[in-house]
Every structure is written in C-alpha cells, then in structure tokens.
Structure 1
Amino acid sequence: MNIMEDGPSLIWGVVCLALLISSLAARRLPLGYLAKAGLAWVAIFAALFAVFSFRYEFMSIWERIKADVSGTAGQNVSGDAIELRRQDDGHYWLQVEVNGNPVRFMIDSGASFTAINATTAAETGVQIDANGYPVILSTANGRVAANRGLVKSLRVGPHVITDHQVVVSENFGDTNVLGMNFLDNMQSWKVEANMMVLQP
C-alpha cells in the first residue's frame, strides 16, 4: 500500500467518520446506541478503505477468474508473439477460434496432426472426409481410427491459419490437440523454463 497515494483518502475517511459521530452526538441518543452505530460505521469505512487500497489486487484476481472461466488462463497474445504458461497439469494450453468458435487445445509436439474430437468437430463445422480411408493413429489409449478433416479458419488473436488439416475421431475423448502441423505454421516456437513462446 502506498501511504502517499492513499493518505488523502484516509484523511477524508477520518473526517467523514468524525462528522458522523458529531451528528449522532448532537441528537443526544443513548450512549449504547451511539457506540453500536459508531462501531458499525467504523467497520463500513474500514471495509471500503480496504477495498480501495487493494483494488489492483482485486482486479488481478478478477482477471484470473475470468481467464479460468473463458479458458485463456496462462495465455497472452502480445504483438507478434503468443506466450503460454505451463499449467498445473504440466501441459501448455491454447484457446483458438475454429471457424469462429472458441476451442481450447493442448499443444503436443509429439502429435503429427491437429486432432479434434467428434463433438467439437460437429459444433465448429469442421469439414470431414467421410469417404476417404481412415487414418490409424497411435495414442496414449492405444491405436484408434480417425477421419481426415479440414478447418477453414484457425485464429489466435490477429493470427489466422486457413485450410488447416486435422484428424477427427470419437475416440479422442474430450481433449483437442494442436500437433506438429500447427507448430509448422509458426515462424518459430520455443520452450524456456515454464513458458512456451510461439512466433506466427
């Protein structure tokens, strides 16, 4: 807390409290009532002063809550760079717009292609090649069959990838993965400490 910055507010609060006490005293109310009323107003002023003093901390907490709810926690698009902080599960997550729809992806450099589960593909209008031969993929849950698909627009902030090839399967569970064909669209990408930086 900055004393110089919050000093005028503190003085103003004390003045208001003194005026309030003087007003109550002038009405010649019972001493017990005055004491209770005074303590109540002291508590109110103290709470307001605490909120004002720690307003930046409260704003930071609110921004963190909004990021957790929206799925953009640990994600920062700054200029030409996309910065991702490693999450508690040890992975890097990126929210992108798939054909205009927000979707949260885990980034996996061990996956060859971007993988989208069937539910997400249906909700975002991914074009699926149902007539082509299925692709057999090796996953953590074993080998699964997937269809090839196409995302017309994949957007992260101002950065857009068009006609992005993906694989789609009901066997991917709830997770969507950005694979190497997504990272290959970047000019560069690197991991340092607990940060991943993508340079589109």
Structure 2
Amino acid sequence: MSDGQSVNIIWLIGGIILVLSALFARRPSLGAIIRSLIGWAIVAGLAYMVVDHRDQLADLAARIGLSDQKVEGGTTRIRMSPDGHFWARVQLNGVERRMLIDSGATITALSQRTADAAGIEISDGGFPVMLNTANGTVMAKRATIKKLQLGNLEANDLNAVVSDRFGNLDVVGMNFLSQLGSWRVEGSTLILEPDQSEASDATNAATPS
C-alpha cells in the first residue's frame, strides 16, 4: 500500500469517527443514524464517481458547449480549472488526452499509458533522464512526439520524456510553450498565441516571385 493510499484511509476513518461522534452526541434513534450513514455514503460515492470519471465529464462538457478550452480567431484560450491549474485537450499523434500545462516543467512529460496509446517513439540511444518531481526523483525515457496539437497550435517532432512513475498525469512543458508566439495569463484565462513569423515565412515561400 502506498503512502498516499494510507493517508486517504486515515482521513476516511477519521471522517467516519467524526460523523459517528456527532450523531451519538445528539443521541438520535437507530433509524436516524442509519439514514444519515446512507446519506453520507451516497455523497461519498458521487464524489468518487466525479473524480474517477473527470476526463469523461470534461469530454461531455466540451460536446455540449461548456468547454474550458476555446479557439477564437488565431488564439487558444483555456480557463483555469477549480483546482487552480490549466488543463488542455491535446492531440498526440491523433490520440486525445487531457494534459496539465505546467510552465515549471522544462520538457513535456507523458505517462507510459499515454505513450503506448499514441505510439510515441522511445529513443533507443542516450541515457535516461532523472527528473525531480513532487514524489521524488523519477527516471524517465527520452521520446519524440511526431505531432502535438493543442487547439489551433501545433508542434512536430517535439521532445518528451516518458515514465510509468507519472501515473496517469501528462504534462505540456516549456519546450512546447517556448515555440509559441506568446503565452500569458489574464485573470483566470491562459491565452496561447501561435508564432506568426512561421506563418509569414510559409506564406512568402508559397508566393511566386
């Protein structure tokens, strides 16, 4: 059992004891205690379902127009999530994932599950990368993402690292953000702008002299 699971179990036991203590202090009937416990169990079950199916709920919100991510003109806007972070819907080689945008991460990082699903190429040569994370030092493999799309933004042959120690977390790092024309936070919205110079170069190259 991991330390995180142990802490969750301790909090759960503590919560149950607190609820039972409050109930017995009021000396309710046995029926009232049972109804109260059932009510708490339903609330806990609903909370667990929301957390466990958060990705599916995010997809549903996008389909009915409640998306936190929108493309307006040439700009991609992402609203801050209730947890205080910016989460983006990203296509990795055509496979969609919900990824955390982290300006504190030097390089884009993928879970092993995501890398396998998207067919991410793991580099054969070179030494593994040692990364300092909130859970300690993690050894990760170097990889290359052929195509990453975020809204109207795109990066090809993007360097990344892959590790099963990331769990289910996938992160868009600074090596993607640094390729943009600009990025900034206004209020509770992250604004991502494409590099206009690349578009101008492509237009000029396509225009006959």
TM-score normalised to structure 1 length: 0.64
C-alpha separation in 2, matches of 1:166 and 1:65 = 25
Q: Show the counterpart of 2:14.
A: none
Instruction: State the 4+ residue runs in structure 1 displaced beyond 6 angstroms.
Output: none
Q: Residues 144-186 of structure 1: CA distance to partner in whole angstroms, max 9, x if unpaired?
A: 0000100001112343211011000010011100010010011
Native 8 Å contact 2:143 2:160 kept in 1: yes
Q: Show the counterpart of 1:73.
A: 67
C-alpha separation in 1, matches of 2:177 and 2:59 = 28
Q: Show the counterpart of 1:54.
A: none
Q: Show the counterpart of 1:161.
A: 155
Counterpart of 1:128 (choices 116, 122, 130) is: 122
Give the alignment of 1:174-189 within 5 angstroms: 174-189=168-183
How far apart are 1:189 and its partner, in Å?
0.3
Count of equivalent residues: 137
Which segments of 5 or more consecutive residues in structure 2 lack a partner in the other structure?
Answer: 1-57, 195-209
How far apart are 1:69 and its partner, in Å?
7.5
How far apart are 1:117 and its partner, in Å?
0.4
Structure having the higher Rg:
1
Matched, 1:144 2:138: yes
Other structure's SS at 2:176 match: helix
Relative to structure 1, the CA distance from residue 69 to residue 141 in structure 2 (aligned partners, 3 Å threshold; closer, same or farther) is farther
Give the alignment of 1:71-110 within 5 angstroms: 73-110=67-104
TM-score normalised to structure 2 length: 0.61
State the percentage of identical aligned residues.
41
Relative to structure 1, the CA distance from residue 96 to residue 133 in structure 2 (aligned partners, 3 Å threshold; closer, same or farther) is same
Q: Show the counterpart of 1:13.
A: none
Other structure's SS at 1:165 match: strand
Relative to structure 1, the CA distance from residue 153 to residue 174 in structure 2 (aligned partners, 3 Å threshold; closer, same or farther) is same
C-alpha separation in 1, matches of 2:107 and 2:166 = 13
Cα RMSD after superposing both structures: 2.2
